[in-house]
Chains A and B, each alone.
Chain A
């Protein structure tokens, strides 16, 4: 039991963690190691960019040819292919330019600002994520402790995820709209619906992770159910919770975007995507997609940060 609470006294982190810290701090030629890790990422990135430009050239060539005319030279044609207003597939630099204009070219409160739309979607996703966190952990605790919930509820939780969110979203929006609940709540509910499952599944596995011998040990100390939960099950579940949270964070964002599609929302990345598809603004669509990806990276990064803080508090292990 005395080993349970890292941070409750003098504690020496385990050797792998110490080695990792030493590598990160630069001892033992870590600069070369970090550089070596970056090369594969850069290589893949360059390959993706090259493929993307090639695909953009091929897909936009007909449109550029019709605009440039028959007599245009090869260089003019290639230039026109990568500078169309409404290309079939925008080139990466066009998307970057559109994002730059949408982010820095307008005030944040303007409906033309991508930051404004990202903020609306991020708010709904965050509410859905919190909802999923509470629901997911609550269900997992119930399932682990009550056999009746385990037997009766778990199969239906799994089945719930086979229903496409695109089918549920309009129903939720209409039903809640009928009773006067509009705006953030339906979007948060749909985002929560999509993202609670990984948290429940991860937490059920995590709360069941302790070995029987560990539970028997606590039983010999006459530990109550609450003590077994607080001292054994909950700490053991953290290693399962954070990977589940990363998945849930990304899913809540997907849920929030999908929820914006049937509502006819005026704001949000989903609304931006929809408006772009109505008016054939492919640049706007791709910029919104990249902003959504950026939000997902930020969300999973926030979960990573929380995990690192908890790990540090617990002496380098989770």
Chain B
């Protein structure tokens, strides 16, 4: 699977998950939303660095 497809799928799935989580009013949802966002950022970072072979000196993967 090409890194572009993985990236796009991750963004769509992450965005949908965030939208769904942010609707909740309970404490767990309030805590989980920024955590999921942080995890999504790290995952996208990893996919970009490894998938597109970004030189480590330029941007190392997480």
Q: Is A224 located at the chain interface by the 8 A CB criterion? A: no
**Complex Cα–Cα for A179 and B59 (A):** 11
Is the CB–CB distance between A156 and B38 below 8 Å?
Answer: yes
A151 touching B33, Cβ below 8 Å: yes
B37 near A153 with CB under 8 A, answer yes
* Distance, CA A148 to CA B20, complexed state (A): 8
Residues of the A chain whose Cβ atoms lie less than 8 Å from the Cβ of B33: 148, 151-152
Give chain B residues whose Cβ lies under 8 Å from the Cβ of A16.
Answer: none
A152 lies within 8 A of B34 (CB): yes
Which B residue's beta carbon lies closest to that of A150?
Answer: B22
CB contact between A178 and one of B23, B36, B58 (< 8 Å): that residue = B58
Q: Cβ of B57 and Cβ of A151 under 8 Å apart?
A: no
Docked CA distance A159–B38 (Å):
11
Query: Is A148 a contact partner of B22 (Cβ separation < 8 A)?
Result: yes
In angstroms, how far is the closest chain B Cβ from the Cβ of A170? 13
Q: Which residue from B34, B58, B59 sits with its C-beta under 8 Å from A151?
A: B34
Q: How distant is the Cα of A154 from the Cα of B58 in the complex, in angstroms?
A: 28
Q: Which residues of A contact B55 (CB under 8 A)?
A: 178
Interface size on A, residues (CB 8 A): 12
Task: Determine if A175 is an interface residue (Cβ-Cβ < 8 Å).
Answer: yes
Closest residue of A by beta carbon distance from B41: A156
Which residues 173-232 in A have Cβ within 8 Å of B in the complex? Answer: 175, 178-179
Tell me whether B48 is interfacial, beta carbon within 8 Å. Answer: no
Q: Tell me, yes or no, whether B18 is within 8 Å of chain A by CB.
A: yes
Pairwise interchain contact A156-B58, C-beta atoms closer than 8 A: no
- Expressed in whole angstroms, the minimum distance between the Cβ of B49 and any Cβ of chain A is 12
CB B27 to nearest CB in A, in angstroms, measures: 12
Whether A178 contacts B22 by the Cβ 8 Å rule is no
Cβ of A69 < 8 Å from any Cβ of B?
no
Which residue of chain B has its CB nearest to the CB of A171? Answer: B59
Q: Which residues of A contact B59 (CB under 8 A)?
A: 175
Task: Name A178's closest neighbour in chain B (CB-CB).
Answer: B58
A147 to B59, CA, bound (A): 31
- Interface residues in B9-62 by Cβ distance below 8 A to A read 18-19, 21-23, 29-30, 33-34, 36-38, 41, 55, 57-59
Q: Please give 5 more A-B residue pairs, beta carbons under 8 A apart, in addition to A148-B18, A156-B37.
A: A150-B22, A151-B18, A155-B34, A156-B34, A178-B57
Identify the 10 closest CB pairs spanning chains A and B, nearest first. A152-B37, A151-B33, A148-B22, A155-B34, A151-B22, A152-B33, A178-B58, A147-B22, A148-B19, A148-B18
Q: Mark A residues whose CB is within 8 Å of B.
A: 147-148, 150-156, 175, 178-179
B interface, CB within 8 angstroms of A: 18-19, 21-23, 29-30, 33-34, 36-38, 41, 55, 57-59
Offer 26 A-B interface pairs, CB within 8 angstroms, sorted by A.
A147-B22, A147-B23, A148-B22, A148-B33, A150-B22, A151-B18, A151-B21, A151-B22, A151-B29, A151-B30, A151-B33, A151-B34, A152-B18, A152-B22, A152-B33, A152-B34, A152-B36, A152-B37, A153-B34, A154-B34, A155-B34, A156-B34, A156-B37, A156-B41, A175-B58, A175-B59
